[in-house]
Every structure is written in structure tokens, then in C-alpha cells.
Amino acid sequence: MKRLRRRPTLALIVGCLIMGSALSTTIAQDPDRSRAATEGANQAAEADRLLKLGDFEAALPLYEAERASRAKTGDLRYEAYALRAIGICRAELGDDTSAIVSYRQAHALDLKRDDPGFAGYDDFLIAQAEARLGRPVDAIKSLERALPRLTGAADRDHEIDALLVLTRIFVGSGRPQPARTHVARALDLAQKAHEAWRIADSWASSGQVEGASGRPDVALDHFSQAQKLFEAQGRAAEAAWMETTSASALVLLNRPEEALARYEIAAQLHKHLEDGGSTSEDLAAVAGLHLEAGRLDPALVAAKEAVDQARDADDRFREVEARVRLAQVQGAKNDWAAAAETLDEAVILGRQVARDDPAEQIRILLTAAATDSRAGLATRADERIKTAESLADEAKSPELKQIVDVATNSLRSKAPAPPLPVPPH
């Protein structure tokens, strides 16, 4: 119940850009502007072709050239289209910060030409990028600006999308109650518009709201409804994700064996889709459920495969979690030396991928310190504790400092370490 995934936003842009190939009479009467308009149309056509193929790196310079050509013609509408396409290419290439710059430039042009629908769409794209950058407060503000503009647009699809993104951000921020109104509105609009995949997405998001509200039984029903709709539409990736979310709801309902079966199915589906990161997440959950049931050998097999899947997919976030799970299993088998080695790599990866998240780094460090202590690596355990203390001081967080102090006192007094209250990534 945690992914904020990119939404399909390219089709509308591509369609609008293709429309730019027609020259107005005014432009045709000016040779320089006519030449620039022709160049822009040709650049857009080739960029659109590459974008459809998913070659964002090759499409980006063509869209940048098209933007320059459109600027020469003074056509704000098509210049804004090019800027949006530039932003999407940059976002797909992993540079959300630069993408926001392009979206804001498009937004300024859309406001200048008094097109609130596209200005709202720009706000929506900005919000998605802000959410991916870990700036939920900014994303909520952008979406709240976007919604009134999208409500007045002829195309209501992006209003539904904005409501669903807002829902997921509220849920991810631990505030499911304000999300409830938004997801209900999204479902109503999707049903009225007969948008099948948006209906399914609304049910999935509603399940997230119910799960976060402490109603896993209702969440399970909504996830099941979404899964049926996704399967009917041939959307295999979304259907597989619903297997994972349904399994998580079954865990909360204290039905571990049913949850285990669903996680195993999800792992098979994600492996078939060659989604190594999601496969790793499913297998780490499988390992955890076997571990809780005392089935250490199958837990070890699943945990090792979870690490392999994440590493092969170059998904370092999930590799960290898979390694933490593997170390838990190795510790349960009293192989503390192996567990310490497993967590040593997790610490290195964690410092890389969670460099802006001191709580996550501290969680991994304290877990590794406790394991090092059990493995007889007292010096290394002490070094990890000192690093955790330094991070807590730098973060100026009394809560983190208290967590580190409690864990440190427990480790140094040789008492059994209490569960760490820092949540996983």
C-alpha cells in the first residue's frame, strides 16, 4: 500500500503535438515564421515517434529544438505542449527537479493564453514530480490548485487522476480520512465517464484508504474488485500488484496462510513480468511469514531469492529490505556471522539510497549493531552506534535521539534489545 506510480500522461501530449503540423494563414505569410513552424512540426513528429517507443533520451533534444522553433512563431499553445513533453522526458529519465522547471514554464504560458484546463494539467504534473521527490506538502498544494481548473476542463480524465494522486499522498502521509472524500469523488467520476481502468484504479486506491483506516476486511474487498477489473482489461502489472496488496490485508486480518499463498502468487506473477523489485518485495514477505511460523529453511530460500531479485533489478531500496529480512532469518538459525555480513552490505546500500532519510539510516545501523553484537563484533557494533548517534544529532530530532539512546543502552548493557520503533522504508 505504498507505491506512487507514474500515470499515463503521454497520449494527450502526443495528440496535441501532432495537431501543430498545420500552419495558420498568418504564419504562412511570413517566410521566417513559416520556416520555423515547419521545423517545429517536423521536430515534433520525430520526437513523438521516439516518445511512443519509450526512447525518452533521444526524444528530449528534439522537443527542446521544437520548443525553440515554436517560440520563434509566437505560438504559445504549441510552445507549452513542447515544454510539457520536455518535462515528461526528463521525469522518465529520473530528473524530476528539471521536469518541474519545464512544467512551470508551460504553466506560465497556459495562464498567459488563459487556458485553465491545461494550467491545471501542468499543476497535476508538477504535483506528481514533487511527490516522487518526497515533497508531499508541496504536492498537495499543487493538486489543490489543479483540481478547480481541471473541474472546469472539457476533459475530466485528469481530474480523476489528480484526485487519485491526492488520495495516495494523503494515505502515504498517514492521513486516510481526508483521502476518503477524494477517492469517492474519483470513483464517481470514473463510473460516469465509463473509464474502465480509472474505475479499477479508484477501487485500488479506495482499498488503500480502508487499509490505512484500520479496516483491512473492507480493503480486501476493494482490492479484489480492482484486481478483477484489471484482469478483465489485460492489465497484468496492476493485477499482480493487487495480489500483493490483498496479501498485506490478509496479514492484518491475521490470516497468515492465506496471505502466504497470495504473496507466492504475486511473486510468480511479478517474476513473469520481469519486475524484479516487486518480486523481491513479495518474496521478502514470504520469508517473513515462514519465519513467524518457525519454518526457517523455506524462509531462508525465499529471503536469499529476494536479495537476488532486487540486486539483479538494481533496486537498491528493496535490496536493503531483503537483506534485513535475510539477516533476520540467518539470526533465527543462529548464524550470526552470516547475518552480520548480510547487514554490512545493507548498511552500505542504506547510506546511499537513504542519504536524505536519517530515520531509515538509523534503523539499519541499529539493526546491524545488534547483529554485530550477537556475532561478537563488538568494535564494529560500537562504530555503528556512534554513527547512529551522529545522525540523530545532525537531524536535531529528539525522537530519533531517544530511539538511539534506548537501543544503545540495551546493547551496551547486554540486555535483550527491544523492537526498534523506527519504521522500515
For residue 423, is pLDDT > 50? no
- Rounded to the nearest angstrom, the gap between the alpha carbon of residue 64 and the centroid of all alpha carbons in its chain is 27
What pLDDT, on a 0 to 100 scale, did the predictor assign at position 7?
38
Q: How confident is the model at residue 10 (pLDDT cuts 50, 70, 90)?
A: very low
The answer to whether residue 212 is domain-embedded is no
Mean pLDDT of the chain: 88
Which residue, 155, 172, 203, sits at the end of a domain?
155
Q: How confident is the model at residue 414 (pLDDT cuts 50, 70, 90)?
A: low
Neighbouring C-alpha atoms within 13 Å toward the C-beta of 30: 11
What pLDDT, on a 0 to 100 scale, did the predictor assign at position 274?
96
Taking phi over 0 as left and psi of -120 to 50 as alpha, with beta for the rest, 417 belongs to beta
Residues 6+ apart with CB under 8 A from 85: 13, 17, 47, 51, 59, 63
The answer to whether residue 242 is domain-embedded is no
Q: How far is the C-alpha of 127 from the C-alpha of 118, rounded, in Å?
A: 14
352-356 long-range contacts, CB within 8 A, separation 24+:
352/316, 353/316, 353/317, 353/320, 354/320, 354/425, 356/134
Q: How confident is the model at residue 425 (pLDDT cuts 50, 70, 90)?
A: very low
Q: Is 287 helix (H, G, I), strand (E, B) or coil?
A: helix
The answer to whether residue 168 is domain-embedded is no
Q: Where is pLDDT greater, at 329 or 134?
A: 329
Which residue, 112, 132, 155, sits at the end of a domain?
155
Percent of the chain whose pLDDT exceeds 70 = 89
C-alpha grid cell for residue 132? 516522487
The answer to whether residue 330 is domain-embedded is no
pLDDT tens by residue, 357-383: 888 888 888 888 888 888 888 888 888
For residue 287, is pLDDT > 50? yes
Distances (CA, A) of 326 to 29, 300, 342: 71, 7, 7
The answer to whether residue 375 is domain-embedded is yes
pLDDT tens by residue, 35-88: 988 999 999 999 999 999 999 999 999 999 999 999 999 989 999 999 999 999
306-309 long-range contacts, CB within 8 A, separation 24+:
306/279, 306/280, 306/281, 307/280, 307/342, 309/271, 309/276, 309/277, 309/279, 309/280, 309/283
The answer to whether residue 317 is domain-embedded is no
Q: How far is the C-alpha of 46 from the C-alpha of 32, rounded, in Å?
A: 21
What pLDDT, on a 0 to 100 scale, did the predictor assign at position 8?
39
Total domains in the chain come to 2
What pLDDT, on a 0 to 100 scale, did the predictor assign at position 424?
40
What pLDDT, on a 0 to 100 scale, did the predictor assign at position 27?
52
- Rounded to an integer, the average pLDDT of 7-14 is 41
- Rounded to an integer, the average pLDDT of 312-336 is 94
The whole domain housing 419 covers 357-425
The answer to whether residue 182 is domain-embedded is no
The answer to whether residue 180 is domain-embedded is no
Distances (CA, A) of 374 to 332, 368, 408, 414: 12, 10, 14, 10
For residue 157, is pLDDT > 50? yes
Which residue, 138, 155, 172, sits at the end of a domain?
155
- Rounded to an integer, the average pLDDT of 395-415 is 80
Q: How many CB atoms lie within 10 A of CB 341?
A: 17
CB 122 within 8 A of CB 107: yes
Q: Is 417 helix (H, G, I), strand (E, B) or coil?
A: coil
Q: Indicate the range of 68-72, 282-286, 395-399 predicted with least confidence.
A: 395-399
What pLDDT, on a 0 to 100 scale, did the predictor assign at position 133?
92
Supply the Cα-derived Rg of the chain in whole angstroms. Answer: 25
DSSP state of 422: S
List, as one string, the DSSP characters of 84-134.
Answer: HHHHHHHHHTT-HHHHHHHHHHHHHHHHHTT-HHHHHHHHHHHHHHHHHTT
Q: How far is the C-alpha of 100 from the C-alpha of 363, rounded, in Å?
A: 32
For residue 109, is pLDDT > 70? yes
- Rounded to an integer, the average pLDDT of 167-185 is 94
What pLDDT, on a 0 to 100 scale, did the predictor assign at position 153?
73
Q: How confident is the model at residue 309 (pLDDT cuts 50, 70, 90)?
A: very high
What pLDDT, on a 0 to 100 scale, did the predictor assign at position 46?
95
C-alpha grid cell for residue 380? 564494529
What pLDDT, on a 0 to 100 scale, did the predictor assign at position 219?
97
